[in-house]
Structure 1
Amino acid sequence: MGSESLKSRTRDDYKFHLEYRTRWSDNDMYSHMNNSVYYYLFDSVVNAYLIQHCALHPPTSPQIGLVVHSHCDYFAPVEFPAVVGLALRVNKLGKSSVTYEIGVFERGQSPVRAVGEFVHVFVDRETRKPAALGMADTLKDGLSKIAVDKSKL
C-alpha cells in the first residue's frame, strides 16, 4: 500500500480506539516521540484489544501471539505533552495469523501522524507451533469484528 493512501487515513477508518498520554521520557533528543515508543504503543493497543474483546489472557491462554513482522510509516512528529489516539483495525485474518493496522493520531488534530503494521501468528503456548485448527474461535470471532472487509475472511 502506498504512503499517499496511508496518509489519507482518518479515525473513522478504524474500529477500535485507545488513548495514550505521552510522557517526557517518550521524547528523543530531537524533541519528538522516539521511534521505539511507536512500537510499544502498537503492542499495547493490539494486546488491549485481544484482552478486552478476544478473551486472551497472556499469562495463561493456551495460544499466544508471536510477532513475525512489523513496520511503521511516519508522516508527522508527535511530542510531549501530546495525547495520542491509537486506532486499530484488522487488514487480514488468516487461519493462524492476523495483520493489524494501527493509526496514530494527535488529539485535536485530523491528520494521521503514523501508520503501523503488526503481524501476529497465534501458536500453541508449549510447542510454539500453530494449532492444526488455527487460532481459537474466541480470537477469530473478536478479531473479525474489527476487520476491514469481512467478506474476504
Structure 2
Amino acid sequence: MSVSTGSTTGKERPDRASYKAWRTATTRWSDDDVYGHLNNARYFDLIDTAVNAHLADATGIDIRNLPAIGVVAEVSCRYFAEMGYPRPIEMGLAVERLGNTSVIYRVGLFQGDPDGEGAFACAEGRFVHVYVDNTDPARPPTPIPDIVREAVAPLLV
C-alpha cells in the first residue's frame, strides 16, 4: 500500500490535507459486522451523510425542496484500514469536479490520532451527484442551483 501526501490522483492512501471540510460521526455497537470491524454498508451511509449534511449546513436550507436536486449517479469506496466501534470517525470532504449538472465528491474516512495512525484515510469514497429537475416527473438533468454551486465551489481541490 502506498501513502500519499495530499494527492489522490492514483491509488494512493490520502491524507488529511486532501480534504477541505470536516465533520465527525459517532460509531455504534451495531455498526460492526461479525468480523468485528465497521460493516461495509455503514461506509456508504457515512459518505452520503458527509455530502448531504455539508450541503444542508452550507446552504442553510432544506435541499430536498430545491427545484433541482442531486441524485446519486455513482458511489464507490476504496478501503485501506479497518475502522470500528467505539471510536469516532472523522469525515473529510472535497470536490474533485464541479460541472454544469454534476458534482464529483471525495469523502475520506479517518479514525484515530491525526498525528499518528489517523493521519491517513482508512477509506475513501467517490460520490457523484447529478442534478435533475425536481418539478418534472421525468427528472431530466438540469444545471446545479447557484446556492449549491456556492456551497461546493470552496471544496474544489
1:147 aligns with 2:152: no
SS in 2 for 1:112: coil
Deviates more, 1:63-72 or 1:122-131: 122-131
How many residue pairs get aligned? The number is 143
Q: Which one of the candidate residues 32, 35, 45 is aligned to 1:30?
A: 35
Partner in structure 2 of residue 117 of structure 1? 126
Q: 2:109 corresponds to which letter in structure 1? A: V
In 1, Cα distance between the equivalents of 2:10 and 2:51?
Answer: 23
Q: Aligned AA for 1:25?
A: S
What's the secondary structure of 2:128's corresponding residue? strand
Which has a greater percent of strand?
A: 1
Unaligned runs of 5+ in 1: 149-153
Q: CA deviation at 1:82?
A: 1.3
Q: Which runs of 5+ in 2 are unaligned?
A: 1-8
2:4 aligned residue: none
How far does residue 44 in structure 1 lie from its aligned partner after superposition? 0.5
Counterparts of 2:23 and 2:65, CA distance in 1: 24
CA distance in 1, matches of 2:67, 2:135: 8
Which amino acid counterpart does residue 92 of structure 1 have in structure 2? Answer: R
Quote the residue 1:151 is aligned against.
none
Shift of 1:73: 0.4
In the aligned structure 1, how far is the partner of 2:10 from the partner of 2:61? 33
Hey, what's the Cα distance between the residues in 1 that align with 2:60 and 2:48? 17
CA distance in 1, matches of 2:52, 2:112: 22
Q: Give 1:87's aligned residue.
A: 92
When normalised by structure 1's length, the TM-score is 0.88
Does residue 140 of structure 2 align to residue 129 of structure 1? yes
Give 1:39 shift. Answer: 0.4
**TM-score of the two chains, using structure 2 as the length reference:** 0.86
Q: Which residue of 1 aligns with 2:78?
A: 73
Question: What percent identity do the matched residue pairs reach?
Answer: 36
Q: Could you list the runs of 4 or more consecutive aligned residues of structure 1 that deviate by over 4 angstroms after TM superposition?
A: none
Rounded Cα–Cα distance in structure 2 between residues aligned with 1:146 and 1:43: 16
In structure 1, what is the equivalent of residue 51 of structure 2? 46
8 Å CA contact retained: 1:72, 1:115: yes
Contact 2:16 2:120 in 1 (8 A): no
1:100 paired to 2:105: yes
Deviation of 1:63 (Å):
1.4
**Structure 1 residue 62 corresponds to structure 2 residue 67:** yes
